[in-house]
Each structure stands twice: as structure tokens, then as C-alpha cells.
Chains A and B, each alone.
Chain A
Amino acid sequence: MIGVVHYVILSALLFVIGLYGAMTRKNGISVLMSVELMFNAANINFVALSYRFRDVAFLAGQAFPLFVIAIAAAEVTVGLAIVLSLYRSSNTVNLDEANQLRG
């Protein structure tokens, strides 16, 4: 029987993989992709754990990933614009070379 715990473990694995990618990748776009993995893990948690509730709490868990998806779309748009302008100004997308703001 596949229950809520299976989904929570799957989302934990997905989140941890995204965390590892966000920590170790040099490329800015790769970091954005890892953050997307973490968003997806959180969404799976929302939908799966909502089955432990009823009525409005259940529907909130089912509807909240829509907000997360909208925020993720906005985040990717702005993030990619920042990476592109970084590429244009200093000809690199590696985040450890982007240190113009360091005092």
C-alpha cells in the first residue's frame, strides 16, 4: 500500500538532491535548476500531506502548489535575467567569479 509516508520520503530525497546541486554547482543556471528541484519537492509534500486533513485544510494543500508554481515562474524569469546581465557585463556565468559587489 502506498501511503503518505512514501510520498514524503520521495520528496525528501528530491529536496536533498536539489540542495546538493545548489551548494556544489558553479554555473548560475544550474543553481536555478537545483532550486526548481527543491520547489517540486515542496509541492509533492503539500499535496501528499493534505490527505491527512479534511475540508478546507485538504483543499488548501491541494491548491497551494499553484501559488508555488507561479512564484517559481517569476523567480526563474528574474534569475535568468540576472544571469544574462552578469554574462553580458563580466562574460561569465560562474557564480564564484561574480564578486563585483564584494567590499
Chain B
Amino acid sequence: MNKMLILMNILLTLPKRVNRQNQEYRFGFGGISERMIHPFVFYVLATLIVGFALLVVTVRNIFHSGLCLIGTFLGVAGIYVSLHNYFLAATQLLIYSGAIAVLILFGIMMTQRSWSLTSRTHNSLWLIGIPVSAMMAFLMIRSALTLPDSPIKTVWENLLQAIGSVLMQVYVLPFEIISVVLLVALIGAMALGKESEEA
């Protein structure tokens, strides 16, 4: 009975406790310094990203398109560095341009045939695709221009520590669900990729 009361007390006070700890982030982890990216670096990175992305969707040889995808991922990692999130940049390098790109390149190599270099790589949807994409870009850029432009200059000194605390306190349920999703994806990929006996 006493234990149950203690348990209920813990459960009932948990949200309050989390809230109190959240307010400590403002002062709890290191100081805040100011640093800004040079415009030239940003424009070089943006040109790299958009150029490689255009190559990804237009190049006829799908293997070259997979290599251009790695270029886009590297550029996005640079963008994360310019946004002062170095851990995310390292994760992008390891998982995207490391694991996912290698996975996609292996998939391309296992499914490529000699005729796949000469056959058409795009369907006839480009007639709809170009106007729809252009209109989408117009709408998104126009709504982005209505945002108040706040500068990116505050750097959290211990951002990784703060992110870890947030993951483990506020977002601990999604964090655990992600691990289950990864396990299910692993088993599903093995079940799908296995050679079936009757085939």
C-alpha cells in the first residue's frame, strides 16, 4: 500500500519534474557565444547541394546519379556545420554518405543490366512534373519570404549534452520506439530479401 502510494506520487509528479528541469536548460548547460557563417561559404554550399541534386534527378546513368547523391549529402553535412550542429553533421556523414549511399550503390549494382544504360530513364510525367514542381517552389519560397529573418548566430557551447538530455527526458518514448522500428525494418528486410524456395 505504501509502495503504491509512492509509485502514484512519482507518476503524478513526473510532468512537473520534467517541466522544472526543462527550464534549467536556459542556464544549465554552458554559455552561449555568437558566431556567424560567411555568406560566400553558404552560397558555395547551396550551389553544390542544388547542383548535385539536379544531377541526381536528371543524369541518365543511374550509378552516376547515386554518386551525385553522395555529393548532396556532403553538402548538407556542411550546412549542418554552418548551423552549429556538429553532432548532426557527423551523423549525416556516417549514416547518409556512409551507410545509406553504400546501400543504394550496392542496390544499383545488383539490379543493373546492360540495357538499362540505353533505355529511357524518365517516364512521360515530366510534362506534369515540371509545372507542379515549379509552382510548389514558387509557393514555398514566397511563404518563406514572409518569415521574419532571424540571424543564426547563437552557439550553444554544450549542444550535444543538451540534446542528450532532451532525448532522454522529454522524447524518451519516441527514442525507444525508433529502436523497435529499426528492429522491425531489419527483420522485414531479411524476410523480403531472402530467396524464396519456390521461385
- A residues adjacent to B (C-beta < 8 A): 1-10, 12-21, 23-27, 29-30, 32-34, 36-37, 40, 43-44, 47-48, 51-52, 54-56, 59-60, 62-63, 65-67, 69-78, 80-85, 87-89, 93, 96
Distance in angstroms from A47 CB to nearest chain B CB is 5
- B residues adjacent to A (C-beta < 8 A): 22-23, 25-26, 36-37, 39, 42, 46, 49-50, 53-54, 56-57, 62, 65-66, 69, 72-73, 76, 79-80, 82-83, 85, 88, 91-92, 95-96, 99-100, 103-104, 107-108, 110-111, 116, 120-123, 125-126, 128-130, 132-134, 136-137, 140-141, 144-145, 147-152, 154, 159, 162-163, 166-167, 170-171, 174-175, 178, 181-182, 184-186, 188-190, 192-193, 195, 199
Known contacts A2-B152, A5-B149, A67-B178; is-contact A44 B76 (Cβ 8 Å): yes
Residues on A with C-beta less than 8 A from B154 are 51
Residues on B with C-beta less than 8 A from A56 are 22, 25, 166, 170
Distance in angstroms from B152 CB to nearest chain A CB is 5
A74 touches B162 (CB 8 A): no
B105's nearest neighbour on chain A, judged by CB, is: A29
A82 touches B192 (CB 8 A): yes
Residues on A with C-beta less than 8 A from B195 are 88
Known contacts A36-B69, A51-B154; is-contact A24 B125 (Cβ 8 Å): yes
The SS class assigned to the A binding surface is: helix
B174 touches A83 (CB 8 A): no
A71's nearest neighbour on chain B, judged by CB, is: B181
A/B interface sample: 23 pairs, CB < 8 A: A16-B136, A17-B53, A17-B54, A23-B129, A25-B121, A26-B121, A29-B66, A29-B108, A37-B56, A43-B88, A56-B25, A59-B166, A66-B88, A67-B175, A76-B100, A77-B185, A77-B189, A78-B192, A80-B189, A83-B111, A84-B110, A88-B195, A89-B199
